[in-house]
Every structure is written in C-alpha cells, then in structure tokens.
Amino acid sequence: MFIDGKWGSDGKSFDVTNPATGETIEAVADASADHAVQAIAAAERAFPDWSRTTAYHRAAILQKAHQLMLENKQQLAELMTLEQGKPLRAALNEVQYGADFLQWYAEEAKRIYGTSIPSARADQRFMVQHQAVGVVAAITPWNYPVSMITRKLAPALAAGCTVVLKPAEDTPLCAMKIFSLLQEAGIPDGVINLVTSSNPEPIGDVFCTHAAVRKITFTGSTAVGRHLATLAAPHLKRVSMELGGHAPFIVYPDADPVHAAKGATLVKFLNTGQACICPNRIYVHRDSIDPFVSTMVERVGRMQVGNGMDAGTAIGPLINSKALEKMERQVSDASAKGADVVCGGRSLSDGDHAGGCFFAPTVLNSITPAMDIYREETFGPVAAIIPFDDKDDVLAMANDTSYGLAAYVYTRDLTTAMQSFERLQFGIIGINDINPTSAAAPFGGMKDSGLGREGAREGLQEYLETKLGGFSV
C-alpha cells in the first residue's frame, strides 16, 4: 500500500498470478476497509495545500511523470504482460497511451479558465471560477491496468484534487509501479494514495460512504457500477462511470467486405477481446457475408496464441478461469442453437498452453437473437457475425441493447455514414475507423455503459466544481 507518501503493509498479503502460466509473480499488501479510511484521511489532509498550488506547478509534475513513464516504458510493459497477459507489443502501446494522458492534462491544467458575466445592475459584477472538487476515490480495471489509471489520475491531479486508488485485484503491480513513478516526479505526500486488496467490496463501500470523498470514478462492469452508484447516491457524491459495452460493427453493402473484415479482426481481437470497445455483434450485409467471413477466418487462422512474452504472440490468455468458462458457455450455446463455428471454438490447454487461460480465437457465423452471445457482453476472442438485409433494420438491431459505449460503421457513402453517426445510440462511433480514441478525445457511453466522460476537456470538467461570485461595486 502507499498511504501518505509511505509504502507499507500490515503483514497480510495476496498473490498476483500470471494468467499465461498460473504461476505466482509476487505477493502484495491486502488492504482492509480501515486502510481505505487511512488513505482517505491522508488525501483529505493533503487537499488544501495541493489545490492551492499553481496550475503551472501541477503541470510540471505531470510532465515529469510523463517523461519517467516513457523512460520506464519497457519495464512497465513487461510487468503488464506478466500480470495481465497481453502481448508485449500491445503492452508497449498501452504504456504510450497511458503516458499521453499525463502529457495532455499537464497542458490542460493551465487552461482551467474562468469567465466574467455581465450583470443587469450597474453596481454588480459576476465572476465564475472552476475549482477542484476535493478527494477523489478511483477504482480501475484489470484489462488496461496502466492507461485506465492515468486516465483518471491525470485530470484529477491537474484539477487540484487528491486521490485514493484501488486497482483491480488481478493487476496491482502496474499500479504500484505507476505510483512509484509519480512519487519520483514530485507528487507531495498524501496527494495520491494506493490501497491494493483481494476483496474490493469493503473498499468500495468506504469510498461510497465516507464523508470526505466528494467524487467516485469507476471503470468496470455495469453491475458493479450500478451498485457503487446506488451506495454513493444518498451521500450526493459526484459519480463518473465507464462501464460495459456491447458494440455493433456494421458492414453496409457498399463497403469493401475485405477491408472491413481486416478492420473488424483487428478491433475484435484487441487485448484478446478483453476491451469494452471490442465489437460483439458484427452485422454484415448478406451479399457480403462470404468474402467477409473468408477474410476474417484467414486472418484469425494466422494468429498465434500463447504467452505474451513470446515473440509473435497475437492472442494472450484470458484473465482467469471464470472468463474462460464464459467463452466455452457462449460458444456452446450458440452452436447448439444453430450457429456455424467457422474456426476456433475451444479452450487450449496442451503443450505451451498448459496452466494458462487460453481460448482459441473464434469466428461464429449465422448468429441469431436467441443466442446468449447476441445479448451478453463477450469480453473474449469470439467474433459473432450476424447477416442483415435492410439498412434501416440493422440500425434498429444495433440499438437494441441496454449498452451504449462504442459502435463501428463501414461504408463508402457519406449519407449512410452521417445517418449512422446520428442514429446510433452510442457514445463513440468509428466511421471506417477502428481506433476512435485518444487522450484528446472524450471517451464514454450512454445508457448502461456509464455516466460522464474521460479524456479531452470533458474529462477535466469531471473533477471541477463551478463557483459563482457576485460582487457589489
């Protein structure tokens, strides 16, 4: 744990394991609810001084942290691959993405502008300022264990907030490394605090009910997000939630099916399919099904499954056995109800895959609404292809979900692109683009996919209060 500028443990610990081998990497401190209270108290004590530092001072520290993160890029990426499993090349990309948030918000810290509002009275002036909301409690997921931390900490620190972080129990080592770099960058004691725990529920309860915490920021499942928001509501805490997704990927009849299949393969199997923006429902016009499927199968067939540290690995392990069981259940259900298992469709447990949580990259065709995979978020390397005939019908099918995070469209027609962008009920739309994300762009969803935005100017506003001053002159 890292509380009030000091690393420590009370002797209790839990093991962090490598999902590719099942081996223990390291034991880390197992925090309790009392430790969360201590961390919040430290953040509360540090808030007055930190919030009064100049924007230029906070920016300089964030810029230093950005530099240190890039200098330690290889080490961080290797650590990520060990505890989370993603291929090393993907881990390196994530470290870069995570560092981008530190740099972006180092710059945005100096652009927290106020306004002057004209009054109807000659003897009155209005002034608006934006000030830090206070102590922030942050909870981050295992699938992006570096970038999801900096995407929360960077804007919070830029705004002048202090933070207590609980990282996912599967990936605490990346969080510990990031905190050591932030400490080296010059973050004062108490401004950032880290509690690692094998049992997140008591920590989350403290975060949502402690009077000193003024904002909760969470990335994870919709079910957990809803529970946290319910706990926080009686205390009127500000809440931002980046939750689950069930992204549609629409290939219109005018699109090049081969080009679309290449894009769909890249984004579907990103992070072994363990990303909330991965497409779960791939709608392909019936006239384009054959070339689309054959292209995807050919590319999936070349994907090497294995330990992320091995050269050439494209598909790493799933995070744990529970995730593996979900893939087996969804594929079995779809197959029993008439889906065509075009490739993959099974767990891998022999040879180099022994001891790990590996599932073969899978393509399913002829998916129908009766199948579990049509309704459930997959979060794994299974591509579900659904044929469609009518353009209007496919938009209705795409919107027929309680989720609303990301969606993708492939078309050559400007009118179709614009209509899809306007009519799809999702917070992020990729039009012939499988990577519509950046530190400079707002990220977040609609409906059951969350509240608020991360990244961009909108991400900074989540950590600021608006204060009005009325001056009689």
d(CA 228, CA 201): 10
Q: Is the pLDDT of residue 450 over 90?
A: yes
Q: What is the dihedral of CA 238, 244, 245, 246, to 10 degrees?
A: -140
Question: Rounded to whole angstroms, how far apart are CA atoms 164 and 29?
Answer: 15
Task: Write the Ramachandran bin of 429: left for phi over 0, alpha for psi from -120 to 50, otherwise beta.
Answer: beta
- 345-400: per-residue pLDDT in tens? 999 999 999 999 999 999 999 999 999 999 999 999 999 999 999 988 999 999 99
State the pLDDT at residue 392: 86
The sign of the CA dihedral 458, 459, 461, 462 is: positive
Which pLDDT score is estimated for 447?
Answer: 97
Q: Residue 329: pLDDT band by 50, 70, 90 thresholds?
A: very high
**What are the pLDDT digits (tens) for 270-313?**
999 999 999 999 999 999 999 999 999 999 999 999 999 999 99
Contact 279, 420 (CB under 8 A): no
Least Cα distance to 431 among 412, 450, 449 occurs for 412
What local confidence, expressed as pLDDT, does residue 112 receive? 97
pLDDT mean over 133-162: 98
Cα 189 to chain centroid distance, Å, stands at 27
Q: How far apart are CA 21 and CA 82, in angstroms?
A: 9
Count CB-CB contacts under 10 A for residue 275: 19
Contacts of 180 (CB under 8 A, 6+ apart): none
How far apart CA 85 and CA 306 sit, in angstroms, is 9
Environment class of residue 46 by beta-carbon count within 10 Å: exposed (0-12), middle (13-18) or buried (19+)? buried
Domain ranges of the chain: 2-243+447-472, 247-431
pLDDT at position 163 is 98
Q: Annotate 323-353 with three-state secondary structure.
A: HHHHHHHHHHHHHHCCCEEEECCCEECCHHH
Residue 251's pLDDT is: 98
Report pLDDT for 313: 96
Amino acid at residue number 391 = K
Return d(Cα 235, Cα 205) in angstroms, integer. 12
Q: What is the pLDDT of residue 230?
A: 97
Give the pLDDT of residue 411.
Answer: 98
340 falls in which pLDDT band (50, 70, 90)? very high
CATH superfamily of 247-431: Aldehyde Dehydrogenase; Chain A, domain 2 (3.40.309.10)
Q: Which sign does the torsion angle of CA 157, 160, 164, 166 carry?
A: negative
Q: Does 14 score more than 90 pLDDT? A: yes
| pLDDT score of 362 | 98
Alpha-carbon distance 469 to 391, whole Å? 52
Q: If you average pLDDT over residues 10-32, what whole number do you get?
A: 96
Q: How far, in Å, are 58, 109, 457, 473 from residue 104 at the CA level?
A: 12, 9, 10, 39
Q: What mean pLDDT is predicted for residues 408-419?
A: 98
Q: Which spans in 85-216 are helix H?
A: 88-108, 147-159, 172-185, 200-209
DSSP result, 110-128 = GG---EEE--SSTTEEEEE
The Cα–Cα gap between 194 and 43 comes to: 11
Catalytic sites, residue numbers: 242, 276
Fold classification of 2-243+447-472 is: Aldehyde Dehydrogenase; Chain A, domain 1 (3.40.605)
List pLDDT tens digits, range 225-281: 999 999 999 999 999 999 999 999 999 999 999 999 999 999 999 999 999 999 999
What's the half-sphere exposure (Cβ side, CA atoms, 13 Å) at 82?
Answer: 15
> Do residues 333 and 367 touch, judged by C-beta distance below 8 A?
no
- State residue 128's pLDDT score: 98
Which pLDDT tens digit goes with each residue over 70-98?
Answer: 999 999 999 999 999 999 999 999 999 99
- Distance separating alpha carbons of residues 159 and 132, to the nearest angstrom: 5
Residue 248: its pLDDT value, please? 98
Domains 2-243+447-472 and 247-431 share a fold: no
